[in-house]
Homo-oligomer: A and B are copies of this chain.
Amino acid sequence: MEQYQNPLFTIDNVLFTVAQAELKVLLVKRAIEPFIDQWSLPGGFVDPLLDASVEACARRKLQEKTGVAPSYLEQLKVFSGHQRDPRGFAVTLAFYALMGEQAAQSHIDTVHDAQWLPVHQLQDYPLAFDHQTIIAEAVARLKQKALYSLVPVYCLPAQFTVTELMTVIEAIIERPIQRKSLMRRIEASDMFIAVDEKVSTGKRPAQLYQLKPDADIYLFERNLAE
């Protein structure tokens, strides 16, 4: 039963953030063949000596590229086939992850082989393997999640305003939402506490919120309307 050659098994990460009201994904320039010098998703081979699980491997790969752990990480799905890698039948487990932009900025600025690219400009770049497809599926999944949960908050720093969260959600789902609806959801989710501080970027100062230490991700029973 074990006479088969084990297929090539890898991990890929679709790490998102939102900056300048745009959804962006972290891409790295490949240093080796195949697809050398093309943009690709950060990932690689599992090292059973270093990684206790596929999740641990994904985190390690992201840490290497950004210098920090992502705020959110979840399996997307497995992509497989004979066509996706010129070396033969290949299997990759794709994760999608979220983090605040500035958390990684200092680290990313020091390297030239990693870069945030807006997801809506990706069609202009030839990406390695089937990474275009993987990103498209990750975007779709994130969009869905944004309709029935507040996971987009993981694209923000630890403390944030309602307006910032609104901007992130709108960037992800690509349409405006009602501030009132968002505030009701923040309240109902019971995931956040109002920080004893406000920020005044413009006129009236905005309340800062942060995740409760033990907060579970609350799932709403309805989607935001189409």
Q: Which chain A residues have a beta carbon within 8 Å of chain B's beta carbons?
A: 1-2, 4-9, 32, 44-49, 52-55, 75, 77-78, 80-82, 88-89, 91, 93, 221-223, 225-226
Could you tell me if B7 and A46 are in contact, using CB atoms closer than 8 angstroms?
A: yes
CB pair B225–A1 under 8 Å, yes or no, is: no
A-B residue pairs, 6 tightest by C-beta: A48-B89, A54-B80, A221-B223, A222-B222, A53-B80, A6-B6
Contact B75 A77 (CB under 8 A): yes
Contact B48 A4 (CB under 8 A): yes
Do A78 and B81 contact each other (CB < 8 Å), given the known contacts A45-B2, A88-B48?
no
Contacts of A80 in B (CB 8 A): 46, 53-55
Assembled-state Cα–Cα distance A34/B44 (Å): 29
Say yes or no: A6 contacts B9, CB within 8 Å.
yes
Contact B81 A52 (CB under 8 A): yes
Between-chain CB contacts (< 8 Å), 29 pairs = A1-B32, A1-B45, A2-B45, A4-B45, A4-B46, A4-B47, A4-B48, A6-B7, A6-B8, A6-B45, A7-B9, A7-B46, A7-B48, A9-B91, A48-B82, A48-B88, A52-B81, A52-B82, A53-B80, A53-B81, A54-B91, A55-B80, A75-B77, A75-B78, A91-B93, A221-B225, A221-B226, A222-B222, A222-B223
